Structure 1
């Protein structure tokens, strides 16, 4: 079983969360969502909401992060995940600029 943190709970994040809950190969440990107004929706799905990405990426019981956050956060979040030794899946785009994408590749 792969333990996962989901980052972002917009339309796509909600879709991914429901699919992960249905799949016995995944344990959805938490959902990172900085908008606390949405936390009640996360709890209704039986999931643990957290505000801070840094907290999720440092969690010992999280093996991978799925990034569905706004596009302009992707590159720095990818770099943080890799630096912490986490697996990461990121929806496109990985970065908004080619320069920053090259920096991510070097990590």
Structure 2
């Protein structure tokens, strides 16, 4: 699932859409406004985000409203947390080894 998530987020326009949706729901027109692309292009970007599980769409009359799916973002946060813990532990071990080496010489 993370491969699809990161693949979807690799595009700057889609990343910006997710950033906008992190502040609350938005219509397709609101998502398109800051970009120099057509509404059909934004629709395709949103479809990729929906397929990746990052965004949900609902129709309200003739308007399509998009929201961020927090559970998908939580998966990314968990993965990043694990990665951060790994690197923090690795750096801590390296610092210990360097201190031991300094004390030994």
The structure with the greater share of residues assigned to strand is 1
Q: Which has the larger radius of gyration?
A: 2
TM-score using structure 1 length: 0.25
TM-score using structure 2 length: 0.25
